[in-house]
């Protein structure tokens, strides 16, 4: 999805692309979108403005490429835990772990530009949990195969939006992703009721390590 523009016949230069994208990502976190200067990006990348423009036609396409690289590099992975509730908690914790300081700064900077660059905000927010819907569908299908009772699977779209919303909002307000206790509460009080699923897992009321409300 990276928006690149190359002159005909010019071979790709992965090192220069990486340098430009890295410089753009660093500047976005430092000064925000509006103050980001393509001339400064070129200077930091050790190249020229014509070389930059041969690859990225404008600031939007370069920043979008930087966001796409961030999304690909931080794709959320977690090991299934054998229970719907525990899998949802693990998914929230994995997404929370990718709420890095640089990503938070970039999010905060882009939020200020959401009126003029809404697609950049949406892509970075959505990238907090890559391929949200397929991951959730896989979790639900595994739970069904185990015989867990799930009666409201039409809530998947809402849950797919809620997970990044929880992670991003907590990150912007608190400076980090939600901790384990908040992840457990979010799953128990929001996600599991939306699925109308019975509680199970290592932190259910039958186990002593469940945190106090």
pLDDT in tens, the chain (213 residues): 444 444 443 556 889 999 999 999 899 888 888 899 999 999 999 999 999 999 999 998 898 888 888 767 666 667 788 899 999 999 888 888 877 777 777 777 777 776 777 777 777 666 554 456 778 888 888 898 888 888 776 778 888 878 878 888 888 888 888 899 999 999 999 999 988 766 666 555 444 344 443
- Please give the tally of structural domains in the chain: 2
Q: Which of 23, 50, 71 is at the close of a domain?
A: 71
Residues 136 and 114 in one domain: yes
- Which pTM was predicted? 0.68
Residue at which a domain ends, from 71, 86, 120: 71
Which domain range does residue 66 map to? Answer: 14-71
Count of alpha carbons within 13 Å of 172, Cβ hemisphere only? 14
The structure tokens listed for 203 are 């932190």
Q: What is the C-alpha separation between 66 and 55, in angstroms, rounded?
A: 13
Q: Which of 71, 90, 109 is the last residue of a domain?
A: 71
Task: Indicate if 171 and 131 belong to the same structural domain.
Answer: yes
In the numeric block, which tokens belong to residue 66? Answer: 């930087």
Query: What's the Cα-to-Cα distance from 190 to each of 5, 89, 105, 139, rounded to whole Å?
Result: 44, 12, 28, 16
CA-CA distances (angstroms) from residue 5 to 1, 2, 33, 56?
12, 10, 21, 5
Helix axis angle, 101-111 to 118-126, nearest 10°: 150
């Amino acid at each position: 999805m990276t928006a690149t523009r190359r002159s005909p016949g010019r071979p790709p230069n992965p090192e220069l692309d990486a340098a430009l994208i890295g410089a753009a990502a660093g500047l976005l976190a430092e000064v925000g979108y509006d103050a980001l200067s393509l001339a400064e990006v070129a200077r930091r990348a050790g190249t020229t403005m014509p070389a930059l423009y041969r690859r990225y036609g404008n600031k939007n396409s370069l920043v979008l490429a930087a966001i796409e690289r961030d999304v690909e590099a931080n794709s959320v992975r977690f090991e299934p835990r054998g229970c719907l509730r525990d899998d949802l908690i693990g998914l929230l914790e994995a997404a929370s772990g990718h709420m890095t300081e640089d990503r938070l700064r970039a999010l905060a900077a882009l939020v200020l530009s959401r009126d003029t660059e809404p697609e950049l905000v949406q892509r970075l927010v959505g990238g907090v949990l890559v391929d949200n819907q397929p991951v959730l569908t896989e979790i639900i299908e595994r739970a069904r195969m185990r015989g867990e009772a799930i009666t409201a699977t039409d809530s998947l779209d809402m849950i797919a939006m809620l997970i990044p919303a929880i992670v991003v909002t907590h990150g912007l307000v608190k400076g980090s992703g939600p901790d384990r206790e908040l992840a457990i509460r979010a799953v128990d009080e929001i996600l599991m009721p939306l699925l109308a699923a019975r509680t199970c897992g290592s932190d259910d009321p039958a186990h002593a390590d469940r945190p106090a409300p």
